[in-house]
Amino acid sequence: MDLAGGTGSLLRRWWHWLLLLAGVATLQWLFRTVDSFPAGLDTFFSDPIDRFARWSQANRRTHWLFTTIFNPFSDAVRVGLNSVESALLWVPWFVLPIAVFLLVARSRNRLQAVVASLAMAYPGVVGLWEVTVETLALMTIAVLFSVLLGVPLGVACALHQRVNQAMRPVLDAMQTVPAPVYFVPMALFFGIGAVPATMATVIYALPPVVRLTTLGIMEVPSQAVEASTVFGASRRQTLRKVQLPMAMPTIMAGVTQTIMMALGIVVLATLLGAGGLGQEVMATLTQRRTGRGIATGLTVVAIAVVLDRVGRAIAGMDRSTAPGRMVTGMAIGGVLSLVLVGRVVGWIDFPEMWDVKAFDPIDDLMDWIRDNLRWFTRGMNDAVIIWFYLPVRDFLTETLAWPVLVFGTAWTGWRVRNWHLAVFIAGALTFIGLIGMWDLSIDTLTQVVAAVILSVVIAIPVGIWAGQSRRVEAALGPLLDAFQTIPSLVYIIPAVTLFTVGVVPGIIASVIYALPPGVRITALGISQVPEESLEASEMFGASPRQTLIRVRLPLAAATIMVGINQVIMMVLAMVIISGLVGGGGLGFETVSAVKNSDVGIGFEVGAAIVAMAMVLDRLTQAGADRFRPPAAT
């Protein structure tokens, strides 16, 4: 009886592991002779889309759907882009830096005003003024659309719970989808050029302003709303005179975040023929000119600095300390006078000073490093491919039967959360296989896993170090800001120069791009551990290392898991960039689909990336919830 009871207790404790082993063994044996996932929905999914793409191309100028909706809308956006670009080029070059200085200086921060003004002048100094203005025009229209759509949506979400519940999964999906995936449907409806790039930018950059507008409205103190109602204000008056003004700093923070996200995609918009700085970055990638890539990347950083400082100045402006109407009027009059003088004298175009060739010595340095460290770079490249990438990819595609991977991942979802997540994961993975994207997705997954592992191995120790030291965190701040601001395409140029085209440059660029959120969120989790817990650990005689291992890390585990989640999302966002340099997988297929206007394949690849991103996102979020202490929930 004791033996039977012990066996029963053991089975109850380990039955889920036995289920996993039994399922894996059974599925592997049953499907051992099956070569690949049966792509039963491949043509079913892509052929109708291809037929619709051919129909849209043939009827773009005749069918009412285009003549009355898409074409007029496209023309309006194009007119807006051309008008903003023409206006910025019509204004004498020196007026924009001065106007930026005056605008930022209104917040009483003269140092930031000088920095923003110099940043505004930098593109002209390196000979990129016109392409920068072209990118600014696209940014202006895209951000304007995002704000005009996002703020009302955010208000509706804040005031109506049903709208909020309906919009939440939509916003989650919009933030999960890698930005270039939007290029395919935009090209289908709007063709090639700046217009589809603008609309893709709007979709990608919309969620932050919606979410933060909702947050700002909901955080307005209820006492203020009740007081407005008591004094007879209608719901609309309360919104306009109380809630929106009090939520304005949060709304402006959302606008600033939208601007940063829009900058991140306008560089990739060159795949749609948008031109601007993206075209310059792509040219430097093709030529493998690291120096010129850095010059162009710093131009994007300069625009980010300008827009960020202007946004912060507007959001943080205190009316009580802001300049009066007379001073403001004099400043506007002075700017208009400068415009007039510049037009009369002819100081319109930025004077030739330097150009991107000034950064060519960096190319010589990279060539020297490549030639003298070839033994290391080529050795590392071959080691990653031979000892990790190829074995893992071949094991998952050729050795392991596809149902085993589906079952094992679904089992993991069941263990970390519930059977609902398990069913979702099984359905998403099965969908990827049925549309014919299984092998390509496994290829991409292998690269994602490699980049995530490297990012986590670096980010968590550095984040723990920064979380325990304010000085370290402050010292790392500018470096992490640069990593987040510099276009991801720029990272990959030196990687390609040193490691040649292939998988490794994409992994390296992904690691650099994904490090900042991993480090920052880990540091946040470590620094937010309650002081009482640390003091209690010290009172019981624990050493700093013991306190870290037994107190800090367990209490910060949920936050660290959120950081890992963000690392995964950032690495997935780099899938397309990796495809540009021969990384293969879904990234290469996306680039090929956009360039060749292969809409059906583009939709399939986009759907596969979305499904993979949602599976990884749900798993890591569930893991974070399991680590979260009960008191925090």
Query: How high is the pLDDT of residue 39?
Result: 67
127-287 and 373-633 have identical folds: yes
d(CA 151, CA 252): 10
327 pLDDT above the threshold of 70 = no
CATH H-level superfamily of 127-287? MetI-like (1.10.3720.10)
Q: Which residues contact 497 (CB under 8 A, 6 or more apart)?
A: 288, 290, 366, 367, 370
Q: Give yes or no for residue 13 having a pLDDT over 90.
A: no
pLDDT in tens, 401-420: 888 999 999 999 998 888 88
pLDDT at 631: 47
492 in Cβ contact with 505 (< 8 Å): yes
CA 46 from centre of chain: 27
Taking the C-alpha atoms of residue 435 and residue 604, their distance in angstroms, rounded to an integer, is 7
What was the pLDDT predicted at 426? 93
Residues 6+ apart with CB under 8 A from 149: 202, 206
Q: How far apart are CA 312 and CA 128, in angstroms?
A: 26
Query: 100 or 174, which is more confident?
Result: 100
pLDDT tens digits, one per residue of 105-156: 877 777 888 888 888 888 888 888 888 888 888 888 888 888 899 889 988 8
Quick one: 586 exposed, middle or buried, by C-beta within 10 A (0-12, 13-18, 19+)? Answer: buried
Cβ within 8 Å of residue 202, ≥6 positions away = 142, 145, 146, 149
Please state, in angstroms and rounded to a whole number, the distance separating the CA atoms of residues 112 and 102: 11
| pTM attached to this predicted model | 0.76
pLDDT band at 99 (very low <50, low <70, confident <90, very high): confident
Q: Cβ distance 550 to 532 under 8 Å? A: no
Burial class (CB in 10 A: 0-12, 13-18, 19+), 589: buried
Q: Is the pLDDT of residue 605 over 80?
A: yes
Model confidence pLDDT, tens digit, residues 613-625: 888 888 887 877 7
pLDDT of residue 425: 92
Please, which pLDDT band fits residue 388 given cuts at 50, 70 and 90? confident
Alpha helices in 91-193 (DSSP H): 95-105, 110-125, 129-159, 161-176, 183-190
Specify the fold of 373-633: MetI-like fold (1.10.3720)
What is the separation, in whole angstroms, between the first and last Cα of the chain?
A: 42
Q: Are 437 and 606 in contact (CB under 8 A)?
A: no
Predicted confidence at residue 1, as pLDDT, reads 45
Name the range with the highest mean pLDDT among 127-141, 296-310, 418-432, 498-512: 418-432
pLDDT band at 23 (very low <50, low <70, confident <90, very high): confident
Average pLDDT on 533-559 reads: 79
264-282 pLDDT tens trace: 777 777 777 777 777 777 7
pLDDT at 409: 92
Burial tier of 233 (Cβ tally within 10 Å: 0-12, 13-18, 19+): middle
Radius of gyration for the alpha carbons in the chain, expressed in angstroms and rounded = 27
**Residue 423 reports pLDDT greater than 90:** yes
| DSSP one-letter string for 354-396 | --GGGGHHHHHHHHHHHHHSHHHHHHHHHHHIIIIIHHHHHII
Q: Greater confidence, 339 or 404? A: 404
Domain assignments of the chain as residue spans, ordered by start: 127-287, 373-633
Q: What is the mean pLDDT of residues 580-604?
A: 77
Query: Which pLDDT score, from 0 to 100, does residue 86 have?
Result: 87
Closest to 389 (Cα-Cα) out of 401, 400, 380, 376: 380
Give the confidence band of 632 by pLDDT, cuts at 50, 70, 90. Answer: very low
Mean pLDDT confidence for 493-519: 82
As a whole-number percent, the residues of the chain with pLDDT over 90 amount to 3
- Percent of all residues in the chain with a pLDDT value above 70, rounded to a whole number: 91
Q: Are 393 and 444 in contact (CB under 8 A)?
A: no
Position 424 confidence tier, pLDDT thresholds 50, 70, 90: very high
Q: What pLDDT was estimated at residue 633?
A: 40
